[in-house]
Amino acid sequence: MSKAGLKYHALTHSVGQSYSCMQCEKCFTRQYTLKRHMNVHSSKYQCIECGKKFLDNNKLNTHRRIHSGEKPFKCSVCSRRFAQAVQLAVHSRIHSGEKCYKCGTCDKAFSLSGHLNSHMRVHTGDRPYKCSLCDKSFTTSSNLNSHKSRTHSNKLLHKKSYYCPYCGILFQTSTDVQRHVSIHTGVKPYSCRHCCERFTWHQRLKTHLLKSHNEGTCFTCHICQQKFSQSRNLKTHVRRHEGVKPYVCSECPKRFCAAGDLKEHQLVHSSFKQFCCSLCDESFKSTRTVKKHFKRCSYIHNMNL
């Protein structure tokens, strides 16, 4: 079993378990993480600035650079400087594109082990971050903060102030709106150099070049021979043949082949409706439902003019 596969195996057996520190009451999903954390309480070397403890004096001295502003480690590509060698090593992956932490279930790769650990929760259904206002739980702290801002406050309108004039969907930037509006206007800026076909999205052009003109990298399903322009689309497609459903809903027993399917399904468990029809102000949970409604609503609206 690979290292990533072993991590996933360990996580699948830790879902629902909680290992608590007896000294500070912090909770962990894995026992070895708790044991590693316990070293903090037995450490002799403590930072006078923030109180953080370390096992040896060298690690304490390295940590002190954070407070002093000393940054002896310099990136050879962009000249950015860092206080610790490990910070430079992690930063260097931005330039190299290295993603050494790979998921053993869906083959997604990450540059940081923490990102892989967060991703694993999609497969295990583990949601350690709980909202104190409504008891809903989430896989990451960022998802929890996003939930609080859009469900328990009025910050959404400030974050997403640009809306589509056709269907009322909100966006964070005007560029996002322009990209989205092409769905309604029918503008197709991507043209095929071999024929007269045009496309709204660049990915659809790539798929067309592959299937119609045999141009580009081809990924073929070994079961039905269907071709794909992206390897991840092929992997999701094969899962549907094999019935493999690694994405687990934390609210109910349902499982899904693709992350997108899970994300769409989870709207069923939410009462929040962020998409609004610009013609009648009716609200909807997903873009798919608001688009379907808008076509019907605009037809009725035009009939009444």
Q: What is the CATH number of the domain that holds 60?
A: 3.30.160.60
Pairing state of beta strands 81-82 and 73-74? Answer: antiparallel
- ∠ CA 241-245-249, nearest 5°, is 150
Calculate helix-pair angle for 113-124, 3-12, nearest 10 degrees.
50
State whether residue 170 is helix, strand or coil: strand
Distances (CA, A) of 200 to 81, 162, 190, 208, 224: 42, 21, 6, 12, 28
Considering the domain boundaries, does residue 271 fall inside one?
A: no
Residue type, 226: Q
pLDDT for position 175: 72
Alpha-carbon dihedral angle through residues 198, 201, 202, 208, given to the nearest 10 degrees? -50
- What is the C-alpha separation between 147 and 13, in angstroms, rounded? 28
What total number of domains does the chain contain?
A: 1
Considering the domain boundaries, does residue 41 fall inside one?
A: yes
Considering the domain boundaries, does residue 235 fall inside one?
A: no
Considering the domain boundaries, does residue 8 fall inside one?
A: yes
- What is the C-alpha separation between 172 and 116, in angstroms, rounded? 27
Considering the domain boundaries, does residue 199 fall inside one?
A: no
State whether residue 163 is helix, strand or coil: strand
For the beta carbon of residue 121, count every other beta carbon within 10 angstroms.
21
pLDDT for position 50: 79
Considering the domain boundaries, does residue 113 fall inside one?
A: yes
pLDDT for position 152: 62
- Residue 127 near residue 267, CB atoms below 8 Å: no
pLDDT for position 274: 67
Domain, as residue range, for 21: 3-126
State whether residue 253 is helix, strand or coil: coil
Considering the domain boundaries, does residue 225 fall inside one?
A: no
pTM (predicted TM-score): 0.41
Considering the domain boundaries, does residue 226 fall inside one?
A: no
Q: Which of 112, 100, 98, 90 is nearest to 2 (CA)?
A: 100
pLDDT by position in tens, the chain (length 305) = 444 445 444 544 444 456 777 777 677 767 777 777 777 676 677 888 777 777 778 878 888 877 777 888 888 877 788 888 888 888 887 777 788 888 888 777 887 777 888 788 778 777 777 877 777 777 777 777 766 666 665 444 445 567 777 766 777 677 777 777 777 777 777 888 889 888 877 778 888 888 888 887 778 888 898 878 777 888 888 888 988 888 888 778 888 888 888 888 887 887 777 677 767 777 777 777 877 887 788 777 777 76
